Amino acid sequence: PRQALVDDTEDVSLDFGSEEELALRKARFRHPLATFFHLFFRVSAIVTYLFCDWFSNSFVACFVTILLLLSFDFWSVKNVTGRLLVGLRWWNQIDEDGKSHWVFEAKRVPTIAASTEAEARIFWLGLIICPVIWTLFFFSTLFSLKLKWLALVIAGISLQTANLYGYIHCKLGGQKTLSRAASRLFATADVPKSKYRAV
């Protein structure tokens, strides 16, 4: 006679992807490419400004190269690295009436691929130090009477400061939103008892 087959299987739940999540948590840099380009264009513009006379005698070539590096930096910081490294972004929106509205956003929910402290520190240091360096270039250009470079230095200050202003506004705006929500919560929880009457 045939023996009945005994089912010795058991339900096992496998946690797929836990290795990847653990590796992401241990990683010092979760967005190494974004971190690299956050600093690359900024530092390249400053180094090119300092040593451009050594490599080229053409003022126009130096001016255009530095301006392109500053533009690439502005675009990458505003559109990519701010979102990836610190979860912030800002932009300008024009409504149907033609009015300009500035929008500042901060990510509220942390994700698995959120940035690390090292990435956030690199982001903010690069964002703060570079406008200071361009401001020093402004005064050195002004006092050394190299006025042909003044327009470029002002462009550098403007682009760097615009990103700094936008991200500071995002950071403070996110904190204000959280404090407003907390104050509303406490305001509704702390309602005076005189409003309630016994029926």
Q: How far apart are CA 81 and CA 33, in angstroms?
A: 9
Where residue 13 falls among pLDDT bands split at 50, 70, 90? very low
Task: Check residues 182 and 106 and name the one with the higher pLDDT.
Answer: 106
Average pLDDT, the chain: 78
Could you read off the pLDDT of 26-39 as tens digits, one per residue? 557 788 898 999 99
pLDDT (0 to 100) of residue 151: 94
- Three-class secondary structure of residue 10 per DSSP: coil
- Three-class secondary structure of residue 115 per DSSP: coil
Buried (b) or exposed (e) across 99-124, using 16+ Cβ within 10 A?
Answer: eeeeebbbeeeeeeebbbeebeebbb
pLDDT (0 to 100) of residue 191: 43
Could you read off the pLDDT of 107-157 as tens digits, one per residue? 775 544 456 788 999 999 999 999 999 999 999 999 998 888 999 999 999
The residue extents of the domains of the chain are: 29-107+114-188
pLDDT (0 to 100) of residue 114: 55
Could you read off the pLDDT of 67-118 as tens digits, one per residue? 999 999 999 999 999 988 988 988 888 888 888 888 888 877 554 445 678 8
pTM of the entire predicted model: 0.70
pLDDT (0 to 100) of residue 27: 59
**What are the structure tokens assigned to 95, written together?**
């409504």
Helices (H), 4-149: 18-26, 32-55, 59-76, 82-85, 117-143
Could you read off the pLDDT of 39-59 as tens digits, one per residue? 999 999 999 999 988 888 899
